[in-house]
Amino acid sequence: MSLHRSKIFLACTLAAAGMLSACSKDKNTEQKTDSLTATAPATGQASPILEHNAKQRLINTLQESLKKANINVKIIDIKTTEIPNIYWVNLDGMPSVYATADGKYLIQGDVLRLGDTKLKNVSQDLQAAENKKLFAALNPKDLIVYPAQGATKHIVYVFTDANCPYCHKLHEHLPEINAKGIEVRYIAWPRGEQFFPTMEAIWCNNDRKAAFNAVVQGQQIPAVQCNSPVKAQYQLGIKIGVNGTPAIYSQDGLYLGGYLSPEELEQHLEK
C-alpha cells in the first residue's frame, strides 16, 4: 500500500514543533493547571473537571500552551477517557491527541488496554464517534457512489487514489462487493501533490465513474478544473488519521483496514 504520510513522520513533525514536550506557562497558568490537577478523576470517568466551566478552562490552558509553542491549531472539544487523568482532544484539521489533566503534555497515537484476552484500542471508539459525524455531513453528490445490489446491508467509505495499485485491486472487486449488499462511497485522497491534478480531473468530470475507470486502466484523461471537493476531502482524511490508500471505514466511523477482499470486508462488517 502506498503511503502519503506515515504516523511516525507526523509524530516527528509535531515533536519538532514542541507538541510532545512540556509546554511553558506563566505563574497564573500554573495556578490554574494545579487546580485542574486537584480535581482530576481517579477513575478516568466523568469528573468535576468537566463541570462548572472546568472543561473550558482545560481547553483554554491547552490552547494557550499550543500558542506559546507556535502551534496554530484550534481545539474543538475534549472528552474524558477510561484512563485516569487523560483526556481525548479533538483538533481542527488534525488527528486527535490525548492530553494530561494538568494541560502540560500531549500524547499522540493509539492507547491500548491490557487485561483481557485481546488488546482493547481505547482510541478506536472515541475516533469512530467523531468519524461517524464527519461522514454523515458529507454530501453524496461530492463522492463517487457505487450502490449495493438489492437491499443495502452496509455502507462503507473508502479514501481512494486512482493512481494507487491497491485501490485498483479493490476497484476490480466492486461488483462482488456490491453484490453482497455493500454500498461503496469513494472519497478523494491523492497521496501526493503530483496526484492532485488527476483526482481533480476525475471529480470535475461529468461522469466520474467513467473517468475513474479510465485512469485505473492506464488511460490519460484531460485536465479539468472546477470548484471540486478534492482538497476538502483530502483534509478530512488528514483530520481522521488516514495515511495511505485505500482506507476503508464503516458508516459508524470504524476503520476496517486497507485493501480487503470482498469476503474479508463482509466479515469485518458483520462483526
Q: Which residue has the cell 497558568?
A: 29
Sorted by sequence, the CB contacts under 8 Å of residue 35 that are 6+ apart come out as none
Grid cell of 123 as nine digits? 482510541
Q: Is 110 one of the catalytic residues?
A: no
Among residues 161, 185, 204, 207, the one annotated as catalytic is 161
Among residues 164, 204, 207, 252, the one annotated as catalytic is 164
Q: What angle do CA 246, 224, 231 make, to 5 degrees?
A: 45
Among residues 23, 102, 185, 191, the one annotated as catalytic is 191
CA 217 to chain centroid, in Å, comes to 29
User: Quick check: 246 and 236 in contact, CB under 8 A?
Assistant: no
Q: Is 191 one of the catalytic residues?
A: yes
**DSSP H or E segment with residue 99:** strand 97-100
Q: Is 26 one of the catalytic residues?
A: no
Q: Is 12 one of the catalytic residues?
A: no
Could you give the C-alpha distances from 208 to 45, 96, 151, in angstroms and in order? 47, 32, 24
Among residues 102, 167, 204, 208, the one annotated as catalytic is 167
SS (H, E, C) 210-263: HHHHHHHCCCCCCCCCCCCCHHHHHHHHHHHCCCECCEEEECCCCEEECCCCHH
Sorted by sequence, the CB contacts under 8 Å of residue 83 that are 6+ apart come out as 44, 98, 111, 122
What's the rounded Cα separation, in Å, for the pair 146 and 160? 13
Single-letter residue type at 211: A
Catalytic residues, by residue number, are 161, 164, 167, 191
